[in-house]
Structure 1
């Protein structure tokens, strides 16, 4: 399950949120800080089930600075990745992607097929 915690940007809020999850034995596989104003924390908790989430929701909202918590379908980085792949897949011409070290990172399956590599 992926959740979004809409919260105040304050020192210690992430620790308060994680302490609550630890108390319930919930593993956090990945986390991201985001939102339009840096006011959201996204957490991917694979072993969190709906009943636990419903029990945790009021406890999350009782944390000072937390305004709300809800389920989300994708983490922001997952959404960007899917959007970029859809955009690259729709292009007719090849796109070359180069990393900071000057290495070739194929960004488009068709271009990678021409280059003889699998897309990344």
Structure 2
């Protein structure tokens, strides 16, 4: 079992994934993508944030990002990982529906993401 599989096997509601560039991650690693897909299927919200100091996650730009989209990972756009974690924690405390939580992660609620970055 990989570290990611072990973490995602725990009783968690969500996780922040820090990727490179515009939201790219290893797309040639079937166990990585499978672990993300299985977690998504179980209702774990996976938010993709970039490690870059500036810029936004745009997973549709490259095949590596598309693989994450296909696995059910959602964009953190230009939120910092800390802002994404705080927002996700607040949404889980105030909402029950995963679809609603995912939709609200893409909305600017308190200035945590730049309006024009949201698709």
TM-score, normalised via structure 2 length: 0.25
Q: Which structure has the highest strand share of the two?
A: 1
Q: Which structure has the highest helix share of the two?
A: 2
Q: Which has the higher Rg, Structure 1 or Structure 2? A: 1
TM-score, normalised via structure 1 length: 0.25
